[in-house]
A and B are shown apart, each in its own frame.
Chain A
């Protein structure tokens, strides 16, 4: 059974970099599939952030591309989201998931609030 768990600070100051990690169990991220991030602002819909493939190839939402970096650490079977220059508009629940242009497994999500 594939399981994903997000972790990271729940509070980030404006203009700083948000950093979240997704730990994967039950499947090796180097074996295949893409691994991605989605976010959901309070009371709003889902927004795709980006994916990383086992080879390290990344794909990002064009609207966030200039601020997003996704990295994979295959030795720890985890991948990381970094979002720079955050503002209040980046306040959201952030989910990680396994992707095949469909998110079939999801983490439980972690709330990140951007505030001074």
Chain B
């Protein structure tokens, strides 16, 4: 099983929107609702931002949203703020009690 595919980098100016993609297969992203997104600042533990494709945990700003189309999931950050600059990782249930992660995307706020 291969890691999910994410672009290595993404960027946007404050106030803009940016979308990060996460591409898998019908055996993982496309086959299950268990797609999650995590934010990781340098030296910190990852933080759950989106789960089950579109759901936000309590406390996560509604500027963060998730979606899925076929085998590709997406995280959109609207109204970019300086504190959104971080690494973002997607994950998906991959069947047979396995979990896959994406390689991560470094989001830069210009």
Contacts and interface: CB of A to CB of B under 8 A. Distances in A.
Interface stretch (A8-16, A21-29, A78-86, A97-105): A97-105
Contacts, number: 54
Interface residues of B, number: 24
A67 B101 CA distance: 20
B104 A45 contact: yes
Interface in A49-73: 51, 59, 61-62
Interface string B29-60: 00010101010000001111001100001000
A107 to B, nearest CB: 7
A45 B89 CA distance: 8
Contacts of B48: 102-104
A70 to B, nearest CB: 13
Interface residues of A, number: 18
Contacts of B101: 38, 45-48
A48 B100 CA distance: 7
A47 to B, nearest CB: 7
Interface SS of A by simple majority: strand
Nearest to A6: B45
Contacts of A38: 101
A106 interface: yes
Nearest to A104: B48
Contact of B45 (A59, A62, A104, A106): A106
Given A61-B99, A106-B46, 12 more contacts: A45-B104, A46-B38, A48-B98, A48-B99, A62-B98, A95-B45, A95-B46, A102-B48, A102-B91, A104-B51, A106-B47, A108-B45
Interface of A: 38, 45-48, 51, 59, 61-62, 95, 101-104, 106-109
Task: List the 3 closest A-B pairs by CB distance, nearest first.
Answer: A59-B97, A101-B34, A48-B99
10 contacts: A45-B104, A46-B38, A46-B46, A46-B91, A46-B104, A48-B98, A95-B46, A101-B34, A104-B51, A107-B45
Interface of B: 1, 3, 32, 34, 36, 38, 45-48, 51-52, 57, 89, 91, 93, 97-104
